[in-house]
């Protein structure tokens, strides 16, 4: 939640660091936490124009996690993020 707060405050570097920490602690955060971290990392990469193909890969991977865990809110958010990629 703190990483998402940093994202919306425009602190993209801090948000990215928090999402990377989440990925390193995947056994603690669970599959949904990893999906959110992947999605937000991909979204930040897309906003910055960095490695768009990698950003798309991360968002697609997060969508697969959301679908597998039936996390409907994040499925909708993920599809929206995917639609933003050029």
Tens of pLDDT, residue by residue over 7-51, are 999 999 999 999 888 888 776 668 898 999 999 999 999 999 999
Mean pLDDT lowest for which of 2-6, 43-47, 51-55?
A: 2-6
Which phi and psi angles does 9 have, rounded to 5°? Answer: -85, -5
- Asked whether the beta carbons of 15 and 47 are under 8 A apart, the reply is no
What percent of the residues of the chain are helix, what percent strand, and what percent coil, each to the nearest 5? 85, 0, 15
Radius of gyration of the chain measured on its C-alpha atoms: 12
Q: How confident is the model at residue 86 (pLDDT cuts 50, 70, 90)?
A: confident
pLDDT at position 28: 62
Given pLDDT bands bounded at 50, 70 and 90, which one contains residue 63? very high
Cβ of 36: how many Cβ atoms within 10 Å?
24
**Are residues 21 and 40 in contact, defined by beta-carbon separation less than 8 angstroms?**
no
Q: What is the pLDDT of residue 23?
A: 81
Check residues 21 and 80 and name the one with the higher pLDDT: 80
């Amino acid at each position: 939640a703190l990483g998402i707060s940093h994202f919306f405050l425009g602190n993209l570097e801090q948000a990215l660091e928090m999402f990377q920490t989440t990925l390193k602690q995947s056994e603690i955060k669970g599959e949904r936490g990893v999906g959110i971290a992947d999605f937000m990392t991909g979204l930040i990469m897309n906003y910055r124009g960095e490695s768009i193909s990698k950003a798309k890969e991360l968002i697609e991977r997060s969508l697969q996690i959301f679908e597998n865990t039936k996390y409907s809110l994040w499925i909708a958010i993920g599809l929206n993020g995917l639609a933003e990629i050029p």
